[in-house]
Amino acid sequence: MEDRLVKWFLWTVFFLFFLLAVGLFSLAVGSTGLSLREVFLSFSRKGSVAHSIVFQLRLPRILLGFAVGGGLSLAGVILQGLFRNPLVEPYTLGISGGAALGVSLGMLLGLPRSMGLVALPLLGFLGAVVVIGLVYVLSTRKGVMRIQGLLLTGVMVSFISSSLIMLIMAVSRLEDLHSIVFWIMGFLGETDWWMVTLMGGVSLVALVLSYFFALDLNALALGEEEARHLGVEVEKSKRLLFLLASVVTGLCVSAAGIIGFVGLVVPHFVRMVVGRDHRILLVASFLCGAAFLVLCDTVARVAVAPMELPVGVITGIVGGVLFIYALTRNEAGVRM
Amino acid sequence: MLRVRGLVCGYRDGFQLRDVDLAVAPGEFLGIIGPNGSGKTTLVRALARSLRPLAGEVLLEGRDIWSIPPREFARQVAVVSQGGHGGPMKVEEYVLLGRIPHYGPFQFLESSRDMEVARKAMELTGIAHLKGRTLEEMSGGERQLVMLARALAQEPRLLILDEPTTHLDIAHQVAVLDLVQRLREELGIALVVVLHDLNLASEYGQRLMLMKGGRVKVQGSPHEVIRRELLREVYGVEVVVEKHPLSGRPYVVVVSGKTEVGSWRR
């Protein structure tokens, strides 16, 4: 028992260091390269160029990346555990589709011009909330939430919303079209401290809350009926976990657009490394997802500088390639 | 300890269990037998708090099981159902899941007592040497023992087993039921065991319940239940019932070529 605790602690420390290293690396590189020394010095030198690069450009973006990456991975672990299905990710439930639909609709109506920057995240979140409610109601019958039904409903809602988005794109003006496409591909750069604080808070709170369900998730790996035999209040846990994962996903998508693959790939990797116990899996995935997204975002910033690539492109390519590699090497690890 | 009164239970418009009455005392072994589709598993689900009764009640120590908080119920009653999966989970992890109902409100890790109970459960079931293996690389029989160990880790007072010997060879069948017998005698655990094998049921059960079409056909000692006419009527198969030379309990031998189930001639 003790050695398991030690092992878990060491893994947590390892992922924390990884996260920190990625963060520092990301602070240093970019169109203006800074040495680590300059980065550290900039903390105390207000008004210097380095200070404004670090504090106004890079740090908010990195912190947002941490929050979104961690949040999406966490949602991925929760949902994969809940559905006992390794292909489920935060976007399978149609939440991202709803958010994207909200944003596209807002752009079509020209709301960002009248309401300012806050309009898009707000609309995204509204869209996500509508979809969460819809999926929830459609898949609950007589107080029982049918997990497989939930999955199918989610996938169908995704299809419907992506069709509607295409419709909106077809009728929107060129400059709106460009913004919609860009938003859909995911972008961490357009942020401010308010958004960073909100998302950081939400992600951390979600991580803490998820730990109240770590044992339930472990038991649910045996199936709902078996979990019930172990005294887990399955309906309550399913409902709360679904809501937790959905709200986090909705907020992440609203803040950063649709950044794919983080919530799918990272939990798998972490499961291969630390095992299947949710008591370590939750925090390890959170940290690893945070680091992974920031790393991808850094690549997106510097790969074809001064141009920027959408971060969703990088997470997709890097995540997909790594995943296939791991799949062929370690067949047992990706199973649930 | 467990008492069922006038239980009607099942799936709307589908299969239903009707008018089931039964009682199990602490340290008693109740064997449930009956043909496929006679309602054995439905009954198990009703007793295990997985299926709400449509009428009647299931009482544990005089309390309606649906009024007992789930975790408290899981500390009293453990269930080993058919199937069940754990994928690539390690045996030890799986057995430790049986400790979940015993966790305190802010307990995050297994206590040393939890580890001790799990270790004992694995030793009792003879799977201690397998604890580092994963469930999917085990044989069906070994997996059954692992599931039993998990149930024992719950430290239940009532153990419900749904066909615990199905995938086992006779040596393991006897080993499992001997073990279960010992738990009953030494710890006073009450047992409700669904068995397909009439001879095992007769040999181990103190009381048997024969079911047919969702109803209790007859309930009583093995001598009262394992009877030629009864079995012929319920199973539709010709049998010979003899007396076990050592235990004196009845045992059943089938007679080939006389089946009525799905007969062409009828």
Q: What is the pLDDT of residues B242-259, one digit of tens each?
A: 898 888 899 998 888 766
CA A49 to mean position of chain CA atoms: 32
Host domain of residue A34: 2-334
pLDDT per residue as tens digits for the range B107-136: 888 888 999 999 999 998 888 898 888 888
- The pLDDT assigned to A1 comes to 55
Q: A291: distance to nearest CA of chain B, Å?
A: 26
Tell me if chain A has a CB within 8 Å of the CB of B101.
yes
- The pLDDT assigned to A335 comes to 52
Residue B172 in contact with residue B124, Cβ under 8 Å?
no
Q: Read off the CATH number of the domain in which A163 is found.
A: 1.10.3470.10
State both tokens at A151.
């999955």
DSSP H or E segment with residue B194: strand B190-194
Select from B50, B78, B110 the Cβ nearest to the Cβ of A228: B50
- The pLDDT assigned to A123 comes to 87
Rg of chain A over Cα atoms, rounded to whole angstroms, equals 20
* Interstrand relation of B53-60 and B63-64 (parallel, antiparallel or unpaired): antiparallel
- Average pLDDT across chain B, whole number: 88
Residue A252 in contact with residue A69, Cβ under 8 Å?
no
Beta bridge partners of A9: none
- The pLDDT assigned to B165 comes to 86
Tell me if chain B has a CB within 8 Å of the CB of A5.
yes
State both tokens at B149.
């160990």
Mean pLDDT calculated for residue range B177-195: 90
Question: What whole-number percentage of chain A has pLDDT above 70?
Answer: 96
In B160-189, the residues whose Cβ lies within 8 Å of chain A are: none
Question: What whole-number percentage of chain A has pLDDT above 90?
Answer: 35
User: CA-based angle A153:A156:A157, to the nearest 5?
Assistant: 85
Q: Is the CB of B70 less than 8 angstroms away from the CB of A223?
A: no
Chain B residues close to A211, C-beta within 8 Å: 108
* Interstrand relation of B29-33 and B190-194 (parallel, antiparallel or unpaired): parallel
CA-to-CA dists, residue A104 to A6, A67, A108, A173, B193, angstroms: 48, 24, 6, 12, 60
Residue A144 backbone class (left: φ over 0; alpha: ψ -120 to 50; beta: rest) = beta
Q: How many domains does chain A have?
A: 1
Q: Is the CB of B84 less than 8 angstroms away from the CB of A222?
A: yes
Question: A54 pLDDT band (50/70/90 cuts)?
Answer: confident
What span, in angstroms and rounded, lies between the C-alpha atoms of B72 and B67? 10
- Supply the pTM of this predicted model: 0.89
Which has more confidence, A71 or A136? A71
Q: Is the CB of B74 less than 8 angstroms away from the CB of A218?
A: no
> Over 50: is that where the pLDDT of B162 sits?
yes
- The pLDDT assigned to A49 comes to 79
